[in-house]
Amino acid sequence: VDRIIDSLLIAVQGVGTQWRVFTSESPTGAEATWHDPADLLKFAEELCSGRTGPRISAVIFVRDQTSEMPTVLGRAPRLICILSRAQALASSAPREWGNFLVIDDGATGSPTLIVRGCATLMAQTYELPTPHGSEIARCFGVRDCLLQSESETLHIQLAGSMNLRVHIAEPGALVRGAGKFALAHMDRTGVWTDDRRSLIMRSVHKVEYPVLHTVGPVFDFSERTLADVVGQRPVLLVADATVARLHGAAWRTYAEQNFPTWHELIVQACETSKTWDEVDRICATAADRNLPRNGVIVGVGGGVLLDTAGVAAAFFRRGVDYVRVPTTLVGLVDVAVGIKQAVNGYGKKNLLGAFYPPLASINDYRFTLTLPRSAIACGLAEIIKIALVRDQWTFDAVERHAAELMDSRFTRPADVAQEIAFRSELLMMEELCTNLYETNHARLVDFGHTFSPSIEAASGYQIPHGVAVAVDMLLSTAIAVYRSIAEPELFERLYRLLDRLDLLLCEQDLPEVSVLACALEDAKRHRGGALNLVVISKPGCPTFLQDVQTSEITSARQGVVRARSSNNAILDLRDQYACLGI
Ligand SMILES: NC(=O)c1ccc[n+]([C@@H]2O[C@H](COP(=O)([O-])OP(=O)(O)OC[C@H]3O[C@@H](n4cnc5c(N)ncnc54)[C@H](O)[C@@H]3O)[C@@H](O)[C@H]2O)c1
Ligand SMILES: [Zn+2]
């Protein structure tokens, strides 16, 4: 099995209701009986859900001609194929055979012949008496024949036939063939059909976008990056109002020089206005200014603006090209690298949105110079997030240089700031790359993002995203300490660092335990039923927790509160330990 299939289930029908089941975990197979095909279906669904082990991404039923087979799985894996035994055998044939013939007497002795070439999409199945095999072979100019049959006469008959090389199917050829079939179909694009005349579409959409780093200021007349990305296409520039005050004059000159057609829309971007109404306003402007299908929306601002404009870009004309110019540290290290666009809705953070890759993100770290300290701290919270799950060096560097990075607005020490920024972007992109559309709900980058959406929403979006992430990381680490996954010293280190960055909440701003418990339920709804709370044992060593008791949340919250009130995190956590009898 190869990297595109996480795990594979092959069920091969034997006589009657007997099936032999092979999975990546039990490659030698296990005998099982299902009298009702629905039970087999249930069994496969359970495996596909990932609840009982690694998620199964492909299920192949190799059925006998006579069997009844269910066609649809409720919680579908990425690929379900129903093959006849002959089709599975045909797939086991070596690539160098051209057209070839497969003869299979089947588990029940009902013979199937199949003629196919490796390049042929659909195998043709002939339910003819087996002696016709050699005639068919002649007809199609077949050179090779793969035979699975007990019949002596057939062997002799075929072996005597002119120009036909007869190969006896090896033991295991059925299962190997089914596996090869699955791989080929996972890779292939096109429309094909199965035995039940279902039509299956498989199309692969390549996702590629650059995160570019400018040499000069992004709107400088000599800086070509944005102009080159956009080309001569019409532009709607959507910008954060604060950024417009600071840089509006520069981009207007830049646009006049570089874009034949352009318009701008200034948005008061703040978390409470990160709503569908704002998306609608951007789309209305795009419509009013006749932005064509080949037009480009350029978003200039922090995470709020970039997310909102991104949703508009995804929806306007079913998607127009989107270029992000992030102007906050959160925007630069986190928003810029991914493909998620979302707005808040119905009392929930980021409830409405789309996975919509940008044409490009254009990163210019000079923007951080005008940010308030709080916005630098929020960016550092996202940097600490990725550092703690992936990279000890970055965590150590942020810890060592926190004060200077804050005072200098993330410009000094220059080499350290650049290295931290580059590593954060790269590591985030590495994490996203293999799971861009979040088909796997266990994501390391969700560290700090399990309690935080509810913390933000419960505060009426008064608590900034970065602060909520910081508090979440601290709560998660306290839970890890109580479980002896992490040492209290780690909590201490993180607490001190977040405190220095002014990212902690006072007790009255910390949400109640009930809110935090609901956050876990919400996270499960968002993650296909699994909690996947990310905790770390030490920087760079993450793990997932699936069951967290309310009592643990209570203790974690107390741990954070008491650490804050006494400003002695480690002792307090040890006290907590003592209370819990650990
Ligand atoms: N899509 C994603 O993958 C992703 C990732 C991380 C965060 N987010 C989202 O990003 C949002 C947080 O983004 P944020 O922290 O950038 O907040 P933000 O967009 O609200 O910006 C913070 C403040 O900084 C101001 N500002 C922006 N650029 C400035 C500049 N150069 N100089 C001075 N002031 C400037 C803004 O006007 C705003 O008042 C959250 O809604 C979060 O959900 C999205
Ligand atoms: Zn975040």
Distance 263 CA to ligand 2 centre (A): 30
Q: Tell me phi and psi for residue 496, to 5 degrees.
A: -60, -45
Higher pLDDT, 16 or 215: 215
Whether the model pTM is above 0.85: no
**Looking at residue 300, what is its pLDDT?**
98
Distance 303 CA to ligand 1 centre (A): 4
Distance 501 CA to ligand 1 centre (A): 17
Q: Tell me phi and psi for residue 6, to 5 degrees.
A: -65, -45
**Looking at residue 25, what is its pLDDT?**
63
Mean per-residue pLDDT of the chain: 86
Q: Which residue's CA is minimally distant from atom 15 of ligand 1? A: 330
Amino acid at 501: L
User: Which range among 7-16, 49-58, 219-228, 433-442 shows the weakest confidence by mean pLDDT?
Assistant: 49-58
**Looking at residue 159, what is its pLDDT?**
73
Q: Which of the listed residues 218, 240, 445 should we mutate to test ligand 1's pocket, taking the one with most ligand atoms within 8 A of CB? A: 240
User: Which range among 151-160, 510-519, 520-529, 548-557 shows the weakest confidence by mean pLDDT?
Assistant: 151-160
Mean pLDDT, residues 464-482 taken together: 97
On the question of pLDDT at 76 being above 60, the answer is no
Higher pLDDT, 181 or 406: 406
**Looking at residue 171, what is its pLDDT?**
82
Under the banding of pLDDT at 50, 70 and 90, the label for residue 188 is low
Q: Could you tell me the sign of the dihedral formed by the alpha carbons of 368, 374, 377, 379, in that order?
A: negative
**Looking at residue 575, what is its pLDDT?**
72
Q: Which of the listed residues 245, 382, 465 should we mutate to test ligand 1's pocket, taking the one with most ligand atoms within 8 A of CB? A: 465
User: Which range among 192-196, 208-212, 361-365 shows the weakest confidence by mean pLDDT?
Assistant: 192-196
Distance 330 CA to ligand 1 centre (A): 6
User: Which range among 34-48, 70-84, 550-564 shows the weakest confidence by mean pLDDT?
Assistant: 70-84
On the question of pLDDT at 112 being above 60, the answer is yes
User: Which range among 114-118, 374-378, 381-385 shows the weakest confidence by mean pLDDT?
Assistant: 114-118
Higher pLDDT, 507 or 243: 243
Sequence-ordered strand ranges (E) for 233-272: 235-240, 262-267
Q: Where are the alpha helices (DSSP H) in 408-487?
A: 414-433, 452-458, 465-482
Q: How many other CB atoms are there within 10 angstroms of residue 120's CB atom?
A: 12
Q: How far apart are the first and last CA of the chain?
A: 44
Distances (CA, A) of 14 to 37, 43, 67: 14, 17, 10
- pLDDT, tens digit, 9 for 90 and up, residues 433-454: 989 999 888 999 999 999 999 9
Q: Which of the listed residues 266, 335, 340, 364 should we mutate to test ligand 1's pocket, taking the one with most ligand atoms within 8 A of CB? A: 335
Q: Which residues line ligand 1 (CB under 6 A)?
A: 240, 242-243, 246, 269-271, 274, 301-305, 307, 327-328, 330-331, 334-335, 338, 340, 350, 367, 370-371, 375, 378, 465-466
**Looking at residue 572, what is its pLDDT?**
67
Q: Which two tokens stand for residue 481?
A: 């300490």
